[in-house]
Amino acid sequence: MTKWGFIIDISKCNACYCCFIACKDEYWDNDYPPYTAAQPRHGQSWMNIIRNERGKHPYVKVSYMPEPCMHCEDAPCIKAAKDGAVYKRPDGIVVIDPRKAVGQEQLVKSCPYGAIFWNGEKSLPQKCTFCVHRLEVGEIPRCVQACPTECIHFGDLDDPGSDVSKLLKSAKAEVLHPEWNTRPLVYYLDLHKMTRYFIAGAVVFGDTDECAEGVTATLTTNGSSTKTSTNNYGDFEFDGLDDGMYRLKLECTGYAPKTININLKTNSYLGDITLAKT
């Protein structure tokens, strides 16, 4: 069986909005019965670009997450629909029937991802269709076609030879909010850029006031450690961290090691850390 899915690489998204515009161009003023009525010109983002800013001056990191309908395997919108107005196809695509769903505004709130939009003029809930009308004629979704950075991978998750299946095996793909148990068919690479924290800093040699390159930074929490080295600006960073207690140790031959305890509650930039000559 075919099971369509997305794998979206957050590191590659630069918020150019080509996917959003392509989706709008495909659906604005165009009906695709029986899958969807036309998307209104304003007010709906079937491919929503979410911006996440982490850290604060002088250390700020910005990431973008394209967020369409997740085409959940266990979809709350299907449970909330009356008269079978939302259904899942055997290929995984969740469809809002544009005839049966008229007046069913409760569907908007039923989606925990905020993927359903209300069309007031037509009294109709609407969302991403995975471009099912294009798939049926052998074409890929418009947003995938339009993305200049190849951030959005689309294919058959049940085909072991497909790009998406290979990516799922080779890289760390995660779904958004797995705790909701909706079992999305949209996966993300580098999701930690939206959901987790970093610890970073800059190390300086106290005797020369120079950037300290090649210092070993070891971060320990709950008995497990990860290591990195400072770059030629003396900078180091650990990313993808959950909140909790951490111990950071900085070591360099000829300098006294330094240990810093961190109670991580949000992204943490430690600023300049000076190592004293022994």
In angstroms, what is the minimal distance from the CB of 143 to ligand SF4?
Answer: 3
Whether 19 and 149 have beta carbons less than 8 Å apart is answered as no
In angstroms, what is the minimal distance from the CB of 204 to ligand SF4?
Answer: 37
Q: Which is nearer to ligand SF4, 113 or 198 (CB)?
A: 113
What is the number of other CB atoms lying within 10 angstroms of the CB of residue 82? 12
| DSSP, residue by residue, the chain | ---EEEEEEGGG-----HHHHHHHHHHBT--BTTTBPPBPSSS--SSEEEEEEEEETTEEEEEEEEE-----TT-HHHHH-STT-EEE-TTS-EEE-TTTTTT-THHHHH-TT---EEETTTTEEE---TTHHHHTTTPPPHHHHH-TT--EEEEETT-TTSHHHHHHHHS-EE-S-GGG----SEEEESTHHHH-EEEEEEEEETTT--B-TT-EEEEEETTEEEEEE--TTSEEEEEEEPSEEEEEEEE-TTB--EEEEEEESS-EEEEEEEEPB-
Q: Is 117 in the site for ligand SF4 (CB under 6 A)?
A: no
71-100 footprint of ligand SF4 as x/- string (CB under 6 A): xx--xxx----------------x------
The single residue among 40, 68, 98, 155 that binds ligand SF4, judged by CB under 6 A, is 68
Q: Is 185 in the site for ligand SF4 (CB under 6 A)?
A: no
Q: Which is nearer to ligand SF4, 68 or 234 (CB)?
A: 68
Partner residues linked to 215 by β-bridges: none
Q: Is 40 in the site for ligand SF4 (CB under 6 A)?
A: no
Residue type, 173: A
In angstroms, what is the minimal distance from the CB of 108 to ligand SF4?
Answer: 9
- ∠ CA 106-108-114 to the nearest 5 degrees? 150
Q: Is 5 in the site for ligand SF4 (CB under 6 A)?
A: no
Q: Is 203 in the site for ligand SF4 (CB under 6 A)?
A: no
In angstroms, what is the minimal distance from the CB of 78 to ligand SF4?
Answer: 7
Q: Is 128 in the site for ligand SF4 (CB under 6 A)?
A: yes
The single residue among 3, 5, 23, 191 that binds ligand SF4, judged by CB under 6 A, is 23
Q: Is 127 in the site for ligand SF4 (CB under 6 A)?
A: yes
Contact range with ligand SF4 by CB under 6 A, out of 44-52, 207-215, 244-252, 255-263: 44-52
Q: Is 69 in the site for ligand SF4 (CB under 6 A)?
A: yes
In angstroms, what is the minimal distance from the CB of 123 to ligand SF4?
Answer: 18
Q: Is 115 in the site for ligand SF4 (CB under 6 A)?
A: yes
Q: Is 46 in the site for ligand SF4 (CB under 6 A)?
A: yes
Tokens of 82: 């009356």
Q: Which is nearer to ligand SF4, 81 or 248 (CB)?
A: 81
Whether 205 and 188 have beta carbons less than 8 Å apart is answered as no
Contact residues for ligand SF4 (CB under 6 A)? 13-19, 22-23, 26, 46-47, 49, 64, 66, 68-72, 75-77, 94, 111, 113, 115-116, 127-131, 141-143, 146-147, 149, 151-152, 182
